[in-house]
Structure 1
């Protein structure tokens, strides 16, 4: 990573590795903002993007434990607009161009479907279809809508599949965020802060970066895939009204390590219990039963739990162990937990085009260094 930052392949990065409860390394390399001449530090802040999802999923599980949210409940119990859903199918129109034909959904969309990405909602960016183009169009309103307004938009869109039948990466956790607001009676940022961030001492993780801390947010370098310009990322100074449960948070490497430590410890950190061990086991089990199409889910050998990808066996395509958990973010953040090895790894960078290669590179480096 240091060599790649020096060569200009990435701006910089922060890597943390913990094993057997001991911090093995926490190191920053390269640039927080190359153009400004600011070096990366261990305390730099990053756009978490989809690494927001596990945090929001844990907040959901806390509400489930409290009885304020039911895992098997239909989403319509909290958001009535989702009582009558339509499933879309792409067909050729009279002019030969693709169009969408819809039929009423026969399955209800549940809270479990939102947590495991089997709701039928999509992002619209992975592959092209007439259905997905509608999600892309709705996404143009993303950061100016409230969570309530965006949920109402989603309710009008056709699903890509019957709920509970297909793993499709999409807006499920964004919609879950709105469900949490209704269940808890508070805005999502307050829900997550009260249930997860404050109890865990995650003081530098938030949806809105305080003005005094914005100078610590890492910047991206120009990337060839974006016309030799920096990719357009979330702006910490922009007053967004949409609190994206699927990708709206910022945070530090140290903070995220605390979150992962709580999961590895079975729901407890430094004497504070966030979840019961049984709830953590439920979240980290594979919830994709054989009849569910796993679609475009990650590397071979992984299923999906309630907020995490879960390794099913020893024959996976990446170094790791049965039961290891991972997820990552659009701009280059990534983590995994290996319970068998009592191992936590998280790295943070802001390089969209390099996010995929580094996942395997870092895994190989960490496991290659382990001799016991």
Structure 2
């Protein structure tokens, strides 16, 4: 594991790495359990070393956490997956649907059915990115802050909802798959259901029960010295796009359920271990029912194998499940997702292991697989051997 982390820094252009493959807390002895951890590089170029406790922007690794929070509310009887969203999101009461996903925004028809809670978590509600890169809907979503989260440019929740609801759906609710926006809508729905912030909902349902004290939508003052900077590749080098005391160190105007959280290795291991331990926390308490966990880990409807976001995986609730094995890192049943900031979280139900990868360079090109692939291939190897 240390060699994998060192190689990513030495040869694949990331300033720093924190990575692990770990077994559940109740299976932490012997050859089958414990942790394999690698830490390398710097939190910020020219700055202090990356550490196990470094706080990183996790981007779309936020998605599984929000889905789990929604399912906790289902377990509590507050929500049903087949509920229409309109009692909490009346802005979505009368959506229109594009006649062609890449067509003009005014070439629409009325939707034939309502958007359901499950549609948002499964990204099947119709609002989101399609494979039609650069289409009018793509451009409109980008203008509304969909894509990489930017707390400094975000609209307040109610303003964002009003503007996002004015856009047409790319497809009929439940009859297609569109990336990203559904989880921001799911986060808005959870906030309205609870009459509080999304961060408070996550804390009540998932973060506090799992002891995830380092996870949230902003960096606390005590976290800023331990936070990594964020970088984007430009030309042959890296450009810093957010310093440790930058946008995430201030109160966000919009808490993005699709990609707004910061977290640490140990917090994400706690979450992942819950996914492979029957929904239980390390202390044995039941955070998520086995029925809801099973729904979360079950592959969704077949998706287009050429979709550039999924690449053969099947999206379920908050993440994807491997249903094909074309690469060394793919293994049937693996659940999780990657974050565009250079992060990943995957759960392996058979071996009851979790893999976490945290860097601070945005995913952007062919080197991404070379950086992350060795870790996930090792985790897949452990899964196949179980």
Q: Give the TM-score taking structure 1 as reference length.
A: 0.89
**Deviation sequence 1:300-322 (CA, Å, 0-9, x none):** 2x212111201225x44443432
Partner of 2:125: 119
Partner of 1:257: 269
**Deviation sequence 1:341-364 (CA, Å, 0-9, x none):** 222111100111354443323222
Partner of 1:30: 41
CA distance in 2, matches of 1:55, 1:99: 32
Q: Of 88, 99, 102, which residue of structure 2 is paired with 1:78?
A: 88
Partner of 1:276: 289
Matched, 1:9 2:19: no
| 1:135–1:91 CA distance, 2 compared to 1 (3 A) | closer
Preserved CA contact (<8 Å) 1:63 1:69: yes
Aligned residues: 363
Q: Displacement of 1:109 after TM fit?
A: 1.0
CA distance in 2, matches of 1:244, 1:115: 14
CA distance in 2, matches of 1:28, 1:332: 15
Equivalent residue of 2:318, what SS?
coil
| 1:318–1:116 CA distance, 2 compared to 1 (3 A) | farther
Preserved CA contact (<8 Å) 2:217 2:252: no
| 1:124–1:246 CA distance, 2 compared to 1 (3 A) | same
**Deviation sequence 1:64-90 (CA, Å, 0-9, x none):** 111111200111122111110011245
Matched, 1:187 2:197: yes
Partner of 1:266: 278
Q: Displacement of 1:216 after TM fit?
A: 1.1
Q: Of 283, 286, 299, which residue of structure 2 is paired with 1:286?
A: 299
| 1:7–1:319 CA distance, 2 compared to 1 (3 A) | closer
Preserved CA contact (<8 Å) 1:91 1:101: no
Q: Displacement of 1:135 after TM fit?
A: 1.3
Equivalent residue of 2:249, what SS?
coil
CA distance in 2, matches of 1:63, 1:369: 33
Q: Displacement of 1:91 after TM fit?
A: 9.8
CA distance in 1, matches of 2:58, 2:51: 17
Partner of 2:251: 239
Q: Give the TM-score taking structure 2 as reference length.
A: 0.86
Q: Displacement of 1:127 after TM fit?
A: 0.9
Q: Displacement of 1:24 after TM fit?
A: 2.5
| 1:361–1:27 CA distance, 2 compared to 1 (3 A) | closer
CA distance in 2, matches of 1:225, 1:190: 40
Partner of 1:58: 68
Q: Displacement of 1:111 after TM fit?
A: 0.6
